[in-house]
Structure 1
Amino acid sequence: MTDSAGPWSASHAEAGHAVAAGQDTSAWTQPPRERLEELTRGAFVPSGALAQAAEAFRPRPGQTEMAAAVARTIEQGGALVVEAGTGVGKTFSYLVPALLSGERVLLSTATKTLQDQLFGRDLPRLAQSLGLPVRMALLKGRGSYLCAHRLDLARRDASLPDRTALRTLAKIEQWAQGTRTGDLAEMPGLDERSPVLPLVTSTRENCLGSQCPKFRQCHVNAARREALAADVVVINHHLFFADLAVRESGMAELLPTVRVVIFDEAHQLNETGVQFLGRQLGTGQVLDFARDVLAAGLQFARGLVEWQPLVAAVERAARELRLVVGGGNYSTRLRWSGEAPEGVDPLAWDDALAVLASALEQAAEGLAVVNEVAPDFVRLQERASTLAQRVRAFAREAEPGSVRWADAGTQLRLVESPLDIAQAVQRKLLKTGEERDEAERQRAWIFTSATLGDDERLSWFTEPCGLSQAQVLRVASPFDYPSQAALYVPRQLPPPKDPGHSAAVAALAQRAARRIGGRTMVLTTTLRALRAIGEQLQAHFAGSGELEVLVQGQSPKRRLIERFREGAAHGHAGCILVASASFWEGVDVPGEALQLVIIDKLPFPPPGDPLVEARSQRLESQGRSPFNDYFVPEAAVALKQGAGRLIRRETDQGVLVVCDTRLVQMGYGRRLLAALPPMRRLKDEGEFEEALGALGP
C-alpha cells in the first residue's frame, strides 16, 4: 500500500466522470452502525479483504487503529483529525470504513494527481475486494476539461502565439473527436503549461451555461449529473473551497446529500482555503477578458461596435496598472497596508485603478448594445461588470480581519484574504453556534495527512482550520528509521545568511551525488537558491555524461519526476534533481532512485511576506510569541514534509542532509529535530562518507 500526494491549478467550478464498481448499487444495504468498527477491523486481518486488494499486504497496528477511529467517527458523527506517518497506509484506513458504511462519501484530495490515483486505482480495487457495488465519480475543476464551444472559438482565433500552439490546438481537436469525459489529463503528451489550455477550457466567469450552443455536449454538465448520482465522489481542495466561496456550482448541491466528508492531504487546507475565501483580481484575468471580447465581437458582431478601441482601452489600462507597480519579471509579494502597495505612489495607484474600472465599465456598456446577438455577449457583459466591481473594491479599504498584498511579476495580482479558514469552517461546515438539524449533527468530517503539526493537539493544523474541538489521533510510521535512514548536519558550511552558502551546498551535493551515482534530491527554500545551486551543478556536470542535473522550471514537473525515477536505468546517466516549493511534498520516489535528500536551510516562513506579518501581528495582539507559536511550527512541518521524501517503503535506505547548523546549535533546534523521523545521527564528515559508501555507487 502507498501514501500519495502531490499542486493543482485553481478553478472555480466543477466537472468529472463516473464509473460503477460491482453490480446494481441497490444491492448494498448500510450495516448497523454498531457493526461498522467490527466490519472494518475484519478487513485488516491477514485473511481479510485488504489481502486481496493490496500486494504484499501485512497487518499494521497503526493502520487498523486509524481505520477503527474513522469507523467510530462515521458511526457517531463529528470531526476527527488524524496524522498518519508515511507508510501507515492511511488511504485504505479511511476508504475501508467509508465504503463499508454504505453512506454517500465526499473525498477531497490536494491534487489532481492523487484524485486520478484514488479514482483509477485505489477505489475500484478496494470496492472489488470488499465485494461492494459502489458507483464512483471523479470531479475536477472546469479548467481540467475541454469546452467544446471555446474550442470552436479558438479555431478562429488569429492571435495564437506560435506554430507550437497551432500544433497543440490541432492535436486537441483530433483528441476531442474520441473523448468521452473531456478530461484533458487523459490526452497523451499535453503540456499542462501550454498557453492553448485557457483557450479551450472554461471558467465560472466565461461559461455560457444553458445558453451555450454546445450545452448538450458539455462535459461539465455530464460530470455534474454523474457526481450527483454517485456513492463516492472524489474532488480536490481547490474545487471544494471555490464552491464554498461562491455557492454556485454543483458542489453546493452535492454537499448536503453526503454524510461522510474526508479530506486527504489535509495539511494544505488552510493555505488553499484562504485563496478562495477572499478577493482576487489579476491583470491576466483582465487581458483574457479583453481577448475574449475581441474574438467574440469580430466573429458575431463585426461592425456593430468599435471593438478594437474598446478592447485596446481595457488592455492599456491593465498594463498601466502593472507598470505603476514597477519591478522586473520575477514575482515579488508587496505589502499593502495603506492606500497603495508598498513603494507605489498612492495618487498614481488610485488613478490607474480608476482608469481600469472606467475602461471595464465602458466595455460593459458596449457589450450591452449587442447582448441579444449571441449568448457570449451576455456573459462578457457580466464579466466586465464583475471585474469593474472588483477594481472599485480594491480602491476602498480592506475588510476588517483580512490582509492585502500585491503579487508583482509578469502580471499583477491583487489579493485580499482572511488570515485563516477557522471562521469559515466553523460557520459554513461544522455550523457551530447555530441550530443544527439531525443530518448536520450526524455528519462525519475526517481530516488526515502525514504531517499536521509538532505537538499532541496538532495545533499547527487544528487552530487555523477551526478544529480545536475535534478528536485528534497521531499514528506513527511503521518504518524502522534508525536502521533505514541517517541524518547529517555538516558543521563546516557557512551560515545560511552567508553569500557563499548556496555555492557550498552545491559543492556538497556535487561530491555526494558523484559518490552514489546520482540518486540525489536537493530541496531549496527559495527560488534564488534553486537557481544558484541548479546552475552551479549543471555547469559542473555539463558535457561530462556523468550525471544529469534536473532543475525545477526547466521541464514540466511530471516529466522531471519520471526522469528522476528512471535514474541510471536503460543506459542513462544518474540524476540530481534540484527543486523547491511543491517538490517538498507529494513526490513519491521509492527504492534506490532516491537515497540522498539535501535541504539547503531550515524552511522558516519568509518574515517579509504580508500574510506572515499579519498572522504574526495577530499573535502578538493575543500576547503570544509569533516565533514560538508560528515560525517554529511552520518550519517543523515543512522540514518534516521535505524529509518525508527520503524513506517511502520498508526496504528504502538513505541519508538526509540539512545544511543549516542552527538545527543543532539553537535552542529551537531541539523542537525541529523532534519533529523529524527518528533517524540515526551522523557526527562528522567521516561518518557521512561511510554512510554514502554503504549506499553503494
Structure 2
Amino acid sequence: MVESVFSVDGVLARADPYYQPREGQLAMAQAVAHAMGAGEVLVAEAGTGVGKTYAYLVPALLSGERVLLSTATKALQDQLFSRDIPRLVQALEVPVRVALLKGRSSYLCLHRLGMARHAVGEGSPQQIRVLAKIEEWSRSTRSGDLSELTGLDDRSPVIPWVTSTRENCLGSHCPNAKDCHVNQARRQAMAADLVVVNHHLFFADMAVRESGVAELLPSVRVVVFDEAHQLSDAGLQFLGIQLSTGQFVEFARDSLYAGLAHARGYADWPQLAAGLEGAVLRWRHAAGDGLASSGKRGWAQGAPDGVFAPDWEAAMAAVLQACGLLVQALDAYHDIAPDITRLAERGTSLLARLERFGQPCPQGSVRWLDVGGGLRLVESPLDIADAMRTRFLPQPQESVDDDGWPATREGLGRAWIFTSATLGHDAELSWFVKRCGLEGARILRVPSPFDYAAQAAMYVPEDFPSPSDPRHGSAVAALVANAAMSLGGRTLVLTTTLRAIAVIAQVLRQQLAQLGSSLEVLAQGEWPKLRLMERFRAGAGPQGGCILVASASFWEGFDVPGDALQLVVIDKLPFPPPGDPLVEARTLQIEQSGGSAFKEYALAEAALALKQGAGRLIRHESDRGVLVVCDSRLVRMGYGKRLIAALPPMRRLSGAEEFHAALEDLASVTRTSTTDQTFL
C-alpha cells in the first residue's frame, strides 16, 4: 500500500503535478511502515530533500493506529497540522481525526486574563495596548491558541499575565474550567487518531504525569519524533529540576493579589509578600558580581563557583523562612478560595525544590547556577538515556523474520520512530543513539538526493586570524561585506556565540557604510525571530538585499529555499562551549571511563552542529551557493578531515580567487534569472 502511494502514477503524483518519486523517500516510508507494524524502534536519518515528512506521515495515516507525533518546535507543529497533514488526508482520502496540542503557555487562560484586567495599571502603555488587543481577540477565538494573534511578539511580558503554568493553574477548581482552552484542546486530543505535540510538551507531561499527553500515551501504539536531534536537550529540561528567583517573586506578587482579593484582613499580605521579595533580592546579591556578567557557574560543592558560601547559604535560608511564612498564611485560609488553595500548594513545591538545592547534588547529575536578569538553579541528568530505557522503550524483541526485522508477535509493544536530517556522523548514528538510550534500534540512513558537488562549494580562508585572535570578528565582517556586495545580500552569518553577533554586525555595518553599500544588516536579538526570518526571505525582493547575523536556533530549522540565500558563513568551528557545567560533567564521565572526551564528545558535537549550519545553504534541487568556514583548523588540524566528512560532498575552493569567481558566477546566474522573470 505504501509503495503505491509513492509510485510514479500513485496518489501523490495525481495530487501534485510537480511530484517526483524519490528512491530514498520510498525506502524510508517502507522502513517506517514496517516499524509501525512490528512494534519496533527505528532511528532514521534522512538528508535534506529526501521528503522525510511524507515518508513518516503516509505510513502513519494508513496504519489504522492511534499516532502521537512530536516535533521540535511549535512552528513545525503548526506547519504539520495546518498544511502537510491536511494535504495528505485529502489525497489519501482517509477518515482520520487530527488534533493539535501545545503546552499551557500557548493558550489563553481566561481566569488569568480576568486577573490581568484588574492589574492592568501596573503595566506600561505598550503592555496595556497589547492586553487590550488580546482581550478583543479572546471574544472571537475558538482555540485560544495565541499563535492566531497576528503581531503578538512571543517575547512579550504580557504573555505570562494571560497564560497559566502548571504551578498557578487552578485545575478543576477554576471558575472558567468549563470554557478552558487547554482543557478543550486536551479533549480534542483524546478523541483524535493523530495528535501533534512538541518535544517539550512530551517530556513536561512525562515528568508530571497529570495532563493530556500522559493520558494519551498509554492508548497510543505509534510514536513519531521529528527533528529528533533536539530530543535530548528538550528532555533534560524536564527530567531535571529548575528553580529561579523569578518564580519566588511571581509567587509573592500572586499571593499578595489573591490575599487582598479573597482574604483581606486575615493576614498582613503586603508585609509577607515584601518580606519574600526582599529575601530574594538579598539572595541575588549573594551571587556577588555574577549579575554583572551573565553565564553559567558550576556548582560542585555547597555554593556555586565564585560565590562566597556563607553568604549564599544564609541568603537561601532567608528565602526559605520568608517563603515558609507566606505558605503558612495561605495554608491557614486555603478553603476561602481556589486561588488561595493553589497558591499554598505552589509555595510548598517551591520550598521543596529550594531545600533540595541545599543538599548535595545526587550522583549521576550535574548542578549549576545560571546568572542572567535573575538567578536560575538547575540540576540535570547527563543525558536522557536511562529515562528512555526505563520509562518508555519496549524490551528488545527476541526473534527476527527472514529479512532481519524483529518478528511481529501477539501483544505487540509500542512502535517508536525517531527521524531528523542530522543524527550522527557515523554509520551507527552513535551521537544520537547512545544519548537517547536507543542501543539495539533499527538504523536507517537515507542520503540527500541533492547534487552537492554541482550545487554548492566550500571555502576555508587559510590566512585568516585564529579564532582566539581579537581580530577574528572584524576579519569575518570584512569577508562578509565584500562577498555580500557581490551577491546583493543573500548572506547568512552563523556565529558560535551570542557575543560574536554584536561584534560582527557592528563592524559589518561600518564597513558597508564606508563602501557606500545600501545592504541592510539584520542581527538576532534586535527583532523578533519570526520578523527576522520574514525580512531575510524577502531580501531579494523590492525591499533590497540584506545580511543576517545570527546564532543559536538559526543553525537549524531556518529554511530559505531559492535565491534569497546563496552564501552561508560560519565564524568558528562549533565545539561545545568550554566552562559549561554540563559539558564539563560529560567530559569528566567519558575520561573516567577511559575514553577520549575530545573524540567521543567534543568532536562529535562539532560535527553535528557544523552539518546543521551547512544544511541551511541548499534546500531545493535548484538552489546554488557557497559555504565559508572562517576557521583554518578545519584544514590544518588532523581532526578536520572528520569534520569535513560530516558535511555534504561540496566541491572545495582552494583560494580567494576561486571564492570570488564562485560568487561572481552565482551573481551572474541570479541576474540572468531576474532579467528572464522580468520579461515573462
Contact 1:600 1:660 in 2 (8 A): yes
Check whether the contact 2:120–2:128 (CA below 8 A) recurs between aligned residues.
no
Alignment partners' CA distance in 2, 1:159 and 1:403: 42
Q: Which amino acid aligns with 2:618?
A: I
Match of 1:235 among 191, 197, 200: 197
SS in 1 for 2:186: helix
How do 1:82-97 and structure 2 match up within 5 A? 82-97=44-59
The equivalent of 1:107 in structure 2 is 69
1:185-231 residue CA offsets vs partner (Å, 9 max, x unmatched): 00111111110000100011100011101111101111111100000
For residues 512-591 of structure 1, the aligned pairs below 5 Å read: 512-541=483-512, 546-570=518-542, 572-591=543-562
Q: 1:159 to 1:428 in 2, by over 3 A?
A: farther
1:414 pairs with one of 369, 377, 380: 377
The whole-number CA distance in structure 2 between the counterparts of 1:75 and 1:313 is 60
Pairing 1:164-203 to 2, within 5 Å after superposition: 164-203=126-165
Q: What is residue 463 of structure 2 aligned with on the other side? A: 492
The aligned residue for residue 12 of structure 1 is none
Which amino acid in the other structure matches residue 547 of structure 1?
L
Following TM superposition, by how much is the alpha carbon of 1:433 offset from its aligned partner in structure 2, in angstroms?
8.9
How far is the alpha carbon of 1:293 from its aligned partner? 1.2
User: Helix, strand or coil for the counterpart of 1:430?
Assistant: coil
**Letter paired with 2:529:** K
Alpha carbons 2:495, 2:549 under 8 Å: kept = yes
Q: 2:97 corresponds to which residue?
A: 135
Contact 1:597 1:655 in 2 (8 A): yes
Is 1:423 aligned with 2:386? Answer: yes
Matched, 1:369 2:340: no
Alignment partner of 2:245 out of 264, 280, 283: 283
Q: For residues 72-115 of structure 1, what are the alpha-carbon distances to aligned partners after superposition, in whole Å with 9 as ceiling and x for unaligned?
A: 10111110000000000000000001111111000000000000
Q: Deviation per CA, 1:330-375, whole angstroms, max 9, x where unpaired?
A: 5210010111100011111111111111111111111123222210
- Cα distance in 1 for partners of 2:210, 2:595 equals 39
Question: Does 1:80 pair with 2:42?
Answer: yes
Counterpart of 2:635, as a letter, is V
Q: Report the more deviating stretch, 172-181 or 302-311.
A: 302-311
Q: What RMSD over aligned residues (CA atoms) do the two structures have, in Å?
A: 1.6
CA contact (8 A) 2:72 2:199 kept: yes
**CA apart distance, 1:298:** 2.3
Residue 248 of structure 1 deviates from its aligned partner by 1.3
Structure 1: distance between partners of 2:162 and 2:14: 42
> Secondary structure of the residue that 1:303 maps to in structure 2?
coil
1:632 aligned to 583, 603, 614, which one? 603
Could you give the per-residue CA deviations for residues 20-44 of structure 1, whole angstroms, max 9, x where no partner exists? xxxxxxxxxxxxxxxxxxx111110
> C-alpha distance in 2, partners of 1:433/1:681?
44
The answer on whether the counterparts of 1:357 and 1:389 sit within 8 Å (CA) in structure 2 is: no
Equivalent in 667, 672, 692 of residue 643 of structure 2: 672
Instruction: Give the Cα–Cα distance (whole angstroms) in 1 for the partners of residues 66 and 614 of structure 2.
Output: 36
Distance between the aligned counterparts of 1:159 and 1:369, measured in 2? 30
1:66 aligned onto 2:28: yes
Q: Which residue of 1 aligns with 2:323?
A: 360
Q: Partners in 2 of 1:235 and 1:440 — Cα distance? A: 26
* Paired AA for residue 300 in structure 1: H
Deviation string 1:506-555 (CA, Å, 9 cap, x unpaired) is 11111111111000000000111111001112333459661010000000
Could you tell me how far apart the structure 2 residues matched to 1:474 and 1:183 are?
Answer: 36
- CA offset digits 1:213-261 (Å, max 9, x no partner): 1111101111111100000000000000111111111111100111110
Aligned to 1:316: 278
Q: TM-score, normalised by structure 2?
A: 0.95
CA distance in structure 2 between the partners assigned to 1:158 and 1:269 by the alignment: 38
TM superposition shift of 1:440: 7.3
The amino acid of 2:414's aligned partner reads R
Q: Distance in 2 between matches of 1:150 and 1:656?
A: 48
Please report how far the alpha carbon of residue 52 of structure 1 lies from its aligned counterpart in structure 2 after TM superposition.
Answer: 4.0
Instruction: Tell me, in whole angstroms, the C-alpha distance in 2 between the residues paired with 1:371 and 1:53.
Output: 60
Letter in 1 for 2:237: Q
Give the drift of 1:159: 5.6
Does the 8 A contact of 1:545 with 1:573 survive in 2? no
User: Paired residue for 2:188?
Assistant: 226
User: 1:439–1:305: structure 2 CA closer, same or farther, 3 Å change rule?
Assistant: farther
Q: Deviations over 1:447-469 (max 9, x none)?
A: 00000010000000000100011
Cα pair 2:396 2:440 within 8 Å, conserved: no
Q: Distance in 1 between matches of 2:267 and 2:376?
A: 30
**Whole-Å Cα distance in 2 between the matches of residues 400 and 54 of structure 1?**
55
Q: 1:581 to 1:362 in 2, by over 3 A?
A: same
* Structure 2 unmatched runs, 5+: 399-407, 672-680
Amino acid at match of 2:509: Q
1:256-405 map, 5 Å: 256-326=218-288, 327-328=290-291, 330-405=293-368
- Paired amino acid for 1:583: F
| Residues 1-50 of structure 1 deviation map (CA, whole Å, 9 limit, x = unaligned) | xxxxxxxxxxxxxxxxxxxxxxxxxxxxxxxxxxxxxx111110011112
Equivalent-residue separation in structure 1 for 2:59 and 2:86 (angstroms): 15
* Residue identity (%): 60
* Distance in 2, Cα, partners of 1:160 & 1:235: 35
1:472 matched residue in structure 2: 443
Give me the whole-angstrom Cα distance separating, in 2, the residues matched to 1:475 and 1:160.
Answer: 55
Whole-Å separation in 1 of the counterparts to 2:610 and 2:153: 30
**Aligned runs of 1:636-675 on 2, under 5 Å?**
636-675=607-646
2: CA distance, partners of 1:213 / 1:160: 24
Q: Is the 8 A contact 2:394 2:413 kept in 1?
A: no
Quick one: distance in 2 between partners of 1:152 and 1:545?
A: 51
The CA deviation string for residues 142-169 of structure 1, in whole angstroms up to 9 with x for no partner, is: 0000000000000001563310000000
Query: How far did residue 57 of structure 1 move?
Result: 0.8
CA distance in structure 2 between the aligned counterparts of 1:162 and 1:603, rounded to whole angstroms: 40
User: Structure 1 residues 308 and 433, CA, compared in 2 at 3 Å: closer, same or farther?
Assistant: farther
Instruction: Give the secondary structure class of the aligned counterpart of 1:355.
Output: helix
- Partner residue in 1 for 2:674: none
Residues of 1 paired with 2:123 and 2:299: CA distance?
Answer: 34
> C-alpha distance in 2, partners of 1:654/1:353?
54
The secondary structure found in structure 2 opposite 1:473 is: strand
Separation in 2, partners of 1:343, 1:137: 49
Letter in 2 for 1:687: E
SS in 2 for 1:630: helix
- Alpha-carbon separation, structure 1, partners of 2:104 and 2:230: 21
Give, in whole Å, the separation in 2 of the partners of 1:688 and 1:291. 59
Deviates more, 1:282-291 or 1:437-446: 437-446
Q: Which residue of structure 2 lines up, in the alignment, with residue 211 of structure 1?
A: 173
Structure 1 gaps of 5+ residues are 1-38
How far apart, CA to CA, are the structure 2 residues paired with 1:412 and 1:70? 44
